[in-house]
């Protein structure tokens, strides 16, 4: 009886491992939650990176915009940065939201790589990301002129993904 008790922690660990393995094997890593697509974008004001003055994410009545959640500590954000610069060169309005990042680090990141954003806002505590449904950075949302989220892209923007978002904007 005492020997069986000695193996109880090991048996519990094996049971937990089997449960997690079963979940991981059945979970499709390509599934991306798009809960906010088709719903109005949260009407939020966030501090501007430079001035600290609260500014709206989008101004009512303006055309479609891309809202990009990024961070200086995010390696995939650096990978997508040239695509954001290309969008800026095409005249696409992209609002950048620094997600859970120190403003000084965000500013250094943009100084080093270039600034593709029409507006740079700070989501220091991640509350705006929560309201948008951010699951990780980078994430980009296409918000229509009517304020409804048309599409969401999770991960670094590629030229194909950016073109797909722009087609949906038209």
3-class secondary structure per residue, 60-117: CCCCCEEEEEECCCCHHHHHHHHHHHHHHHCCCCEEEEEECCCHHHHHHHHHHHCCCC
Residue 17 domain-assigned (yes or no) = no
Residue 141 domain-assigned (yes or no) = yes
Residue 140 domain-assigned (yes or no) = yes
Q: What is the pLDDT of residues 79-93, one digit of tens each?
A: 999 999 999 999 999
Q: Are 66 and 94 contacting, i.e. CB atoms less than 8 angstroms apart?
A: yes
Q: Domain limits at 81?
A: 45-169
Main-chain dihedrals φ then ψ at residue 125, nearest 5 degrees: -95, -5
Residue 18 domain-assigned (yes or no) = no
Residue 79 domain-assigned (yes or no) = yes
Task: Please report, for residues 11, 48, 51, the alpha-carbon distance to residue 54 in angstroms, rounded to integers and kept in the order given.
Answer: 54, 6, 9
Residue 25 domain-assigned (yes or no) = no
What CATH number is attached to the domain comprising 57? Answer: 3.40.30.10
Q: How many domains does the chain have?
A: 1
**Overall residue count recorded for the chain in this entry:** 170
Question: Model pTM?
Answer: 0.79
Does position 15 have pLDDT exceeding 90, yes or no?
A: no
Residue 150 domain-assigned (yes or no) = yes
Q: What is the pLDDT of residues 123-147, one digit of tens each?
A: 999 999 999 999 999 999 999 999 9
Residue 7 domain-assigned (yes or no) = no
């Amino acid at each position: 009886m005492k020997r069986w008790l000695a193996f109880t922690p090991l048996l519990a660990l094996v049971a937990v491992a089997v449960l997690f393995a079963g979940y991981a094997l059945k979970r499709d890593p390509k599934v991306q939650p798009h809960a906010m697509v088709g719903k109005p974008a949260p009407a939020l004001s966030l501090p501007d990176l430079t001035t600290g003055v609260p500014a709206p994410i989008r101004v009512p009545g303006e055309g479609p915009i891309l809202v990009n959640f990024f961070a200086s500590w995010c390696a995939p954000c650096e990978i997508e940065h040239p695509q954001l610069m290309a969008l800026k060169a095409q005249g696409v309005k992209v609002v950048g939201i620094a997600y859970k990042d120190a403003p000084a680090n965000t500013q250094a990141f943009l100084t080093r790589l270039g600034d593709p954003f029409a507006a740079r806002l700070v989501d220091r505590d991640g509350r705006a990301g929560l309201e948008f449904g951010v699951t990780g950075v980078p994430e980009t949302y296409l918000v229509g002129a009517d304020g409804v989220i048309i599409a969401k892209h999770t991960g670094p923007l590629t030229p194909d993904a950016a073109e797909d978002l722009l087609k949906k904007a038209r």
